[in-house]
């Protein structure tokens, strides 16, 4: 039986593992389908404290893993099949094999919603990105026309942030008005650098042959007209999907599937804690995920101590 099982291996998971390992709880980290989490798809991370020159996302996650393992964290490439939180110890099934745990930290993260158009996947990290705060300051985007896709608060925030770096920001939205809150929409549309493109969708990200983003193909949903808009970057901000489907019906989530913490990192099930982007629809940064990973490990440690485990 494991004292602590951590589901997920992004910044939240590895930070939780580090703190739990240093508390001599020998946590087991289930690395899942994407070891290292979404951060491994980021070519350079420039906003994680302690790395003034920036750090490759994969390398940063590898360092976190080694640090946690140094203090006794255990790792498994296994994928969680099911989890029964109806009684303790909790019953998990990993790659078809049973596993029991006194406590569980859910750090499964969230996945970006994708457009699903040609060129999007091929040009990811080559001009296509899903996080302006992560990538907007990169040299290739400076003083260049940039595209943001979306119409909610997140898209407006991305567009506003990018005005610091891009020469002009084209905000592509499929409707003729923004879904964002009124104050955010007004602030966004009032900015001289932001140019809305209404009633339009991106049908292709260009140019795979050049191995970098050079523009997007657009289609006007009202007229059917197709155009090409030149740009150096495409920032897709149409939302996130938390990786929490496996816990549906057991762990309390909001209407979008994000886990709702009760007190600190506790969930509605005593002994089950949550950290990172699967419970965060606001910040979604590596450093905030790491912070909640720390908190979840401390909460789990105190829970176990209270149980004399």
Tell me the per-residue pLDDT of 33-80, one tens digit each, with 9 for 90 and over.
Answer: 888 887 886 667 888 999 999 888 889 999 999 999 999 999 999 899
Burial of 134 (0-12, 13-18, 19+ CB in 10 A): buried
**pLDDT for 102 beyond 80:** yes
Mean pLDDT in residue range 185-198: 96
Predicted local confidence at residue 309, as pLDDT: 62
- Asked if 67 and 144 sit in the same domain, the reply is no
229 and 155 inside one domain: yes
CA dihedral 70, 71, 75, 81 (to 10 degrees): -160
Which residues neighbour 249 within 8 Å (Cβ) at sequence distance 6 or greater?
A: none
Half-sphere exposure of 261 (CA within 13 A, CB side): 21
Tell me the pLDDT tens digit for each residue of 6-37. 999 999 999 999 999 999 999 999 998 888 88
Kindly state whether residues 127 and 164 are assigned to the same domain.
Answer: yes
**CATH number of the CATH domain containing 190:** 3.50.50.60
pLDDT of 250 reads: 97
Answer yes or no: do 255 and 181 share one domain. Answer: no
Number of domains present in the structure of the chain: 2
User: Residue 115 has what pLDDT?
Assistant: 94
What's the confidence (pLDDT) of residue 168?
97
Would you state the pLDDT for residue 200?
A: 96
- Which band of pLDDT confidence, cut at 50, 70 and 90, is reported for residue 307? confident
Which of 221, 236, 251 represents a domain boundary (last residue)?
236
Mean pLDDT of the chain: 93
Judgement on whether residues 244 and 288 belong to the same structural domain of the protein: yes
- Point out the domain boundary residue: 236, 262, 289: 236
Are residues 22 and 89 both part of a single domain? yes
pTM of the full structure = 0.76
Q: Are residues 17 and 91 in the same domain?
A: yes
Cβ-based neighbours of 9, under 8 Å, separated by 6 or more: 29, 30, 31, 32, 35, 36, 37, 61, 65, 75, 107
Q: Are residues 37 and 105 in the same domain?
A: yes
Residue where a domain terminates, one of 236, 257, 275: 236
Whether 244 and 251 have beta carbons less than 8 Å apart is answered as yes
**217 close to 228: Cβ distance less than 8 angstroms:** yes
pLDDT at residue number 104: 98
**The pLDDT of residue 25:** 98
Q: Quick one: 118 and 219 in the same domain? A: yes
pLDDT tens digits, 225-261: 999 999 999 999 998 889 999 999 999 999 999 999 9
Assess whether 203 and 121 both reside in one domain.
Answer: yes
Residues classed as catalytic: 131, 134-135
- Higher-confidence residue: 81 or 181? 81
Q: What is the pLDDT of residue 42?
A: 67
Residue 111 has pLDDT above 90, yes or no: no
Per-residue pLDDT at 50: 94
User: 118 and 26, same structural domain?
Assistant: no
What residues make up the domain containing 173? Answer: 114-236
Same domain membership, residue 271 and residue 259: yes
Cα torsion angle, 176, 179, 181, 187, sign: negative
């Amino acid at each position: 039986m494991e004292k602590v099982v951590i589901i997920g291996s992004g910044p939240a998971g590895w930070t939780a593992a580090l703190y739990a390992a240093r508390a001599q709880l020998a946590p087991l980290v289930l690395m899942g389908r994407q070891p290292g989490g979404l951060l491994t798809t980021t070519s350079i991370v420039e906003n994680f404290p302690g790395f003034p020159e920036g750090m490759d996302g994969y390398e940063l996650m590898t360092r976190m893993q080694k640090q946690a393992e140094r203090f006794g964290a255990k790792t498994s490439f296994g994928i969680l099949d099911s989890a029964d939180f109806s009684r303790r110890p909790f019953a998990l099934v990993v790659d078809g094999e049973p596993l029991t745990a006194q406590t569980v930290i859910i750090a499964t993260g969230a996945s970006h919603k994708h457009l699903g158009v040609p060129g999007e996947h091929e040009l990811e990290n080559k001009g296509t990105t899903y996080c302006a705060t992560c990538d907007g300051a990169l040299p290739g985007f400076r003083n260049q026309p940039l595209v943001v896709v979306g119409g909610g608060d997140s898209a407006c925030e991305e567009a506003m942030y990018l005005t610091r770096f891009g020469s002009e920001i084209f905000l592509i939205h499929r409707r003729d008005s923004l879904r964002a809150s009124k104050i955010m929409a007004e602030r966004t549309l009032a900015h001289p650098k932001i140019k809305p493109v209404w009633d339009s969708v991106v049908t292709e990200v260009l140019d795979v042959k050049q191995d970098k983003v050079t523009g997007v193909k657009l289609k006007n949903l009202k007229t059917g007209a197709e155009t090409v808009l030149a740009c150096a970057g495409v920032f897709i901000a149409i939302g996130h999907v938390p990786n929490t489907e496996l816990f549906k019906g057991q762990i309390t989530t909001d209407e979008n599937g994000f886990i709702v913490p009760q007190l600190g990192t506790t969930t509605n099930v005593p002994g089950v804690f949550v950290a990172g982007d699967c419970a965060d629809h606001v910040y979604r940064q590596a450093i905030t995920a790491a912070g909640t990973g720390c908190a979840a490990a401390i909460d789990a440690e105190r829970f176990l101590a209270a149980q004399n485990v």
